[in-house]
Amino acid sequence: MGDAMKFLIGMTSITYAMRAQELLTAKKIRCQVVSTPKNVGSGCGYSLSVSGDPNEVKRLLSENGIKYKEVYL
């Protein structure tokens, strides 16, 4: 995995946010479900705050059918 960085992933639902947290935690990637900041955009109101490689995280979410809106670096 590349350099770890902190970023936010806007989720499409709380269900996908919880599934993503479970998946990433199992892969030893630090993350937490948080309320989406008002200045970040629309969505379900929940995001995932992640410390890791954004490309690896996007790959894992896609491979596991977990829908997300956007990654905010």
Mean confidence (pLDDT) of the chain = 92
The pLDDT tens digits for 36-63 are 988 876 667 999 999 999 999 999 999 9
Q: CA nearest 47: which of 23, 73, 69?
A: 69
Residue appearing with tokens 């995995």: 1
At residue 1, the pLDDT reads: 45
Residues near 8 by Cβ (< 8 Å), separated by ≥ 6? 34, 36, 37, 40, 47, 48, 49, 50, 71, 72
Question: Which domains occur in the chain, in start order?
Answer: 5-72 (3.30.70.1940)
Q: What is the model's pTM?
A: 0.88
Contact status, residue 52 vs residue 3, Cβ threshold 8 Å: no
Mean pLDDT over 23-39 rounds to 95
45: DSSP letter: S
